[in-house]
Chains A and B, each alone.
Chain A
Amino acid sequence: MAKSKEEQIFVQLNDEIIELTGKEKEAFLTDRAETQINLDAQLAKEEANKELKKSAYTKLGLTEEEINAIL
């Protein structure tokens, strides 16, 4: 399989645009990957909380329509 072209990363400092290479590029990509992991975790937590609420409301005897209106 052909290797995909390596992603170029450009960042802007005021009006100057700089290409990141080497360790700086690695650090940027690592930072961004960590941010994405945190975002995914937040969304998963958000979804889990919603499911938990849904389950609790179901136990309380609310209909699906009523639960959807609340959630």
Chain B
Amino acid sequence: MATTTNYSWTTPDDTALVKDGASAIRALGTAIDTSMNTALGTKKAGMVLVSSTTIGSAVSSVAVTGAFSTTYDNYKIVITGGTSSANVDMSMKLGATAAGYYQQVIRAAYTTSVTGVAISNGAAWTYSGVNNGASNAFFLEIYAPFLSQITRINGAYVDSGTAGILSGYLNNTTSYTDFTLTPASGTLTGGRIDVYGYNK
């Protein structure tokens, strides 16, 4: 009897009789059900990849639409790979909103003690990530962007000379589906922006 590669679920041979099809499907279904129950019980996967956007060549900003929806309340946004033409901070805006962003960044060079940066009613979350020429560092959690509530963020600020944490909020209750990332100067090339939804 043929079996699947990973879980060894039994599947009909090419020569199996069609009249045994119902039984074969039932046996396969039962095997899958057992394996899934062993692995997860009644739990669902905790995070789900919502969108994946490949960054083009020498772009000054990247807008991702349809990232947030009613399906999930909270999200994680991660950039993997890619390069930037300048060592600069990366800002983030939601939808077309250009005011009401509040943010604190607590950071330090690896050789000194902590300093802080504040954004009060700014035009964007100016310090959402950092580009370090050879790589981009963007790891951000965003809470309730689609809900009609204040949207909050927290994340990490990491480059080769400085590291820290960032957090903030957008002072309105607008429902957002889109976000835009813009380096303070220069361009981005390559890499991937992944948006994950937290299952609920």
Contact = CB atoms under 8 A, between A and B. Distances in A.
A15 B122 contact: no
Contact of B63 (A11, A20, A39): A11
B184 interface: yes
B187 A39 contact: no
A55 interface: no
A28 B185 CA distance: 11
A9 interface: yes
A35 B126 contact: yes
A66 interface: no
Nearest to A40: B184
Interface string A16-40: 0100100000001001101110110
Interface string B173-200: 0000000001011010000000000000
B10 interface: no
Contacts of B65: 13-14
Nearest to A17: B56
A13 B185 contact: no
Nearest to B64: A14
Q: Which 4 A-B pairs have the closest CB atoms?
A: A12-B62, A12-B59, A17-B56, A11-B61
